[in-house]
């Protein structure tokens, strides 16, 4: 049971998904098991080379061997990269969408590096073996070896995707452009797959190794198709989401209420988000992540958005009845991360949305600190105060500058936070807000002695 101020006065309400079996709803794979699986797979891949290499002799042998190793690891890394972005629910809930995205970005750089190194080493090693020039050997490889033309096209596509994903280039692209260009990765992997089995010395004539490679790529393809395409389409048809109404909350901030059919089947947890696509003129082609700003209960899902860009500003013009396509729920920024009986929530600006839902639903002693530039920028204040009253606590509203309205200025430093919460090190802390505020809070929490495992945050930056 939870006290709710969702769309009206406080009421006691229990959604149907709160009665679902916890073991079904909360199954998740944490970061450590996921990393063990990834590195275990890499070790197994290296075992293919070891088992198929009785000896390494001379410079040509060393270069060719290194080229085979980097090629095997690049092929394996391509499969891992796709799996990380397949939006597998158990992995997404346990690791967190933002951490998976960081792993994917770091892995992408390593993958491109491995692919380039593989191409250089294997060409050089073959050239020494055949006593030919590197240019002649490259021409021979590309034009005469099976599936090498397709692999070369895939290799070039992978390089282009890596360049586009570099931080300097990414800043110059809109999220939508970057997102759609990233689909070239799928084509690159598809084009490069054939040459691994046709030309790889570790696969030719080894049916078991080929079967394992087919199983790896087939499994990744299956989860990609299922979770990235089939599940969203099935849910879109089944739930028939649409805008119910739009309500202003603060200057430039609106809440969008979405209704539909069988919403209890979505079973989102407080703190999670959906990727929302509004089928409205100028908006249908983009899907942006927005957290639920209240615990999901029939007949509504609700998001609260600050107009910070073209897409978010357009939400203020949505009309009732607009069809909505939502993928999710995603994210691990939930009560499952909690490890201590006391919790501090630190929200900045629009970061209040997932923390508002957690403030209502987290059990035990919960303190909310809400930061904004000006007093009028506080959104959902009436709801927050009502929840705080029901919990027997209060919300600490902080502004960046001294205010005539009596709001305190609490610096995001270790001494400032310790004055607010003297036993801060005994708390779990959830942080959500703009990048600068988030980084300042994380630094202050470290300096205040809060264990790293008790600090939880999630970012939607691409």
Facing residues of 256 across strands?
246, 303
Answer whether residue 391 shows pLDDT above 60. yes
Round to whole Å and give the CA distance between 347 and 333.
13
- Mean pLDDT (whole number) for 335-343: 91
- pLDDT reading at 450 higher than 50: yes
Under the banding of pLDDT at 50, 70 and 90, the label for residue 356 is very high
Query: Which of 8-17, 76-85, 275-284: highest mean pLDDT?
Result: 76-85
Whole-number pLDDT of residue 9: 32
For residues 195 and 146, is the Cβ–Cβ distance under 8 A? Answer: yes
What is the largest distance, in Å, between two alpha-carbon atoms of the chain? Answer: 83
DSSP state, 17?
Answer: G
Q: How many CB atoms lie within 10 A of CB 238?
A: 13
Q: What pLDDT sits at residue 169?
A: 62
User: Quick one: pLDDT at residue 168?
Assistant: 60
- State the pLDDT at residue 428: 94
Strand bridging mode 301-306 / 253-259 = antiparallel
Average pLDDT over residues 218-229: 95
Q: What angle separates helix 134-144 from helix 148-165, to the nearest 10 degrees?
A: 110
Report the mean per-residue pLDDT for the chain: 86
By the 8 A CB rule, do 336 and 99 touch? no
Cβ contacts of 304 within 8 Å, gap of 6 or more: 249, 253, 254, 255, 256, 293, 350, 352, 353, 356, 379, 380
Per the DSSP assignment, residues forming a β-bridge with 431 are 346, 457
The pTM assigned to this predicted structure is 0.82
pLDDT at residue 326, as a whole number? 92
pLDDT band, residue 317 (cuts 50/70/90): confident
Instruction: Give Cα 354 to chain centroid, integer Å.
Output: 15
Q: Which tens digit of pLDDT belongs to each residue from 242-266?
A: 999 999 888 888 999 999 999 989 9
Supply the pLDDT for residue 8. Answer: 37
Dist CA 335 CA 274 (whole Å): 17
Torsion of CA 389, 394, 399, 403, to 10 degrees: 80
β-strand partners of 248: 254
**Alpha helix stretches (DSSP H) within 399-434:** 414-420
Cα 400 to Cα 80, 372, 395, 423, distances in angstroms: 43, 7, 16, 24
- Give the pLDDT of residue 454: 92
What confidence score (pLDDT) does residue 311 get? Answer: 67
**How far, in Å, CA of 242 to CA of 302, rounded?**
11
Q: pLDDT tier at 12 (50, 70, 90 boundaries)?
A: very low
Predicted confidence at residue 14, as pLDDT, reads 35
Give me 210's structure tokens.
């080929």
Q: Can you tell me the distance from the alpha carbon of 325 to that of 232, in angstroms, rounded to the nearest whole number?
A: 8
Q: Residue 13 above 70 pLDDT?
A: no
Distance CA 172, CA 456 (A): 29
- Residue 462 confidence (pLDDT): 47
CA 357, 358, 359, 362 torsion-angle sign: positive
Residue 173: pLDDT band (50, 70, 90) is low
Give strand pairing partners of 141. none
CB neighbour list of residue 353: distance below 8 Å, 6 or more residues apart? 290, 291, 292, 293, 303, 304, 305, 432
Question: Distance between CA atoms of 257 and 304, rounded to whole angstroms?
Answer: 9
Write the CA distances from 190 to 126, 153, 158, 221, integer angstroms.
25, 10, 11, 10
Residues 6+ apart with CB under 8 A from 256: 243, 246, 302, 303, 304, 305, 315, 318
Q: What is the pLDDT of residues 14-38, one digit of tens each?
A: 333 333 333 334 678 889 999 999 9
């Amino acid at each position: 049971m939870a006290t709710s101020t969702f769309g009206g006065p406080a009421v006691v309400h229990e959604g149907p998904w709160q009665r679902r079996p916890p073991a079904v709803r909360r199954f998740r794979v944490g970061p450590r098991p996921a990393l063990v699986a990834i590195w275990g797979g890499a070790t197994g891949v290296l075992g293919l080379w070891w088992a198929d290499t009785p000896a390494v002799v001379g410079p040509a042998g060393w270069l060719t061997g290194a080229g085979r190793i980097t090629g095997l690891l690049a092929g394996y890394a391509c499969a891992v990269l796709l799996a990380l972005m397949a939006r597998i629910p158990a992995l997404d809930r346990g690791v967190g969408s933002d951490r998976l995205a960081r792993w994917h970005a770091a892995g992408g750089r390593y993958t491109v590096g491995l692919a380039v190194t593989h191409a250089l080493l294997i060409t050089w090693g073959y050239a020494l073996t055949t006593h030919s020039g590197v240019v002649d050997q490259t021409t021979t490889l590309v034009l005469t070896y099976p599936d090498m033309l397709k692999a070369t096209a895939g290799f070039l596509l992978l390089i282009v995707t890596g360049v586009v994903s570099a931080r300097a280039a990414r800043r110059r692209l809109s999220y939508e452009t970057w997102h759609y260009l990233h689909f070239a990765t799928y084509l690159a992997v598809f084009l490069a797959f054939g040459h691994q089995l046709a030309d790889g010395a570790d696969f030719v004539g080894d049916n078991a190794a080929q079967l394992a490679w087919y199983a790896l790529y087939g499994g990744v393809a299956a989860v990609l198709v299922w979770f990235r395409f089939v599940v969203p389409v099935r849910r879109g048809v089944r739930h028939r989401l649409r805008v119910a109404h739009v309500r202003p909350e603060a200057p430039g901030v609106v809440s969008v209420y979405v209704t539909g059919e069988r919403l209890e089947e979505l079973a989102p947890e407080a703190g999670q988000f959906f990727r929302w696509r509004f089928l409205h003129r100028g908006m249908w082609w983009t899907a942006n992540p927005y957290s639920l700003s209240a615990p999901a209960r029939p007949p509504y899902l609700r998001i609260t958005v600050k107009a910070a860009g073209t897409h978010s500003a357009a939400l203020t013009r949505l009309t009732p009845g607009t069809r909505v396509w939502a993928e999710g729920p995603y994210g691990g920024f939930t009560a499952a991360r909690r490890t201590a009986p006391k919790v501090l929530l630190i929200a900045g600006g629009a970061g209040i949305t997932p923390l508002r839902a957690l403030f209502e639903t987290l059990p035990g002693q919960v303190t909310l600190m809400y930061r904004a530039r000006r007093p009028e920028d506080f959104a959902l204040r009436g709801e927050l105060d009502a929840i705080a009253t029901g919990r027997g606590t209060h919300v600490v509203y902080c502004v960046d500058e001294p205010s005539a309205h009596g709001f305190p200025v609490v610096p995001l430093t270790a001494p400032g936070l310790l004055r607010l919460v003297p036993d801060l090190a005994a708390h779990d802390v959830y942080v959500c807000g703009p990048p600068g505020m988030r980084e300042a809070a994380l630094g202050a929490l470290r300096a205040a002695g809060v264990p790293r495992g008790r600090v939880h945050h999630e970012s939607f930056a691409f």
